[in-house]
Amino acid sequence: MALKSDKTRILVNIPMKLKEELEKIALEDNRSVSNYVVTLIEKDIKEKNKKAAP
């Protein structure tokens, strides 16, 4: 599948058990695993930026 020009792919290795849990939580939240992971990363970055702001 082609990516939009403003996106990139990354490869992440995680334990199988963690992936299973991630899939379950993403499904419960009606999201794909990819979308759920992006959402988690965005939340974390926003929190860290708030803490770093003067």
* H-only helix segments in 4-32: 16-28
**Which amino acid, one-letter code, is at 39?**
T
Q: Say whether pLDDT at 1 is over 80.
A: no
CA atoms of 5 and 44, how far apart (whole Å): 24
Which pLDDT value is given to residue 11? 94
4-54 confidence digits (pLDDT tens):
899 999 999 999 999 999 999 999 999 999 999 999 999 999 999 998 887
Size of the chain in residues: 54
Which pLDDT value is given to residue 3? 84
Q: The whole model's pTM is what? A: 0.82
Which pLDDT value is given to residue 52? 87
Please, are residues 7 and 13 in contact by the beta-carbon 8 Å criterion?
A: no
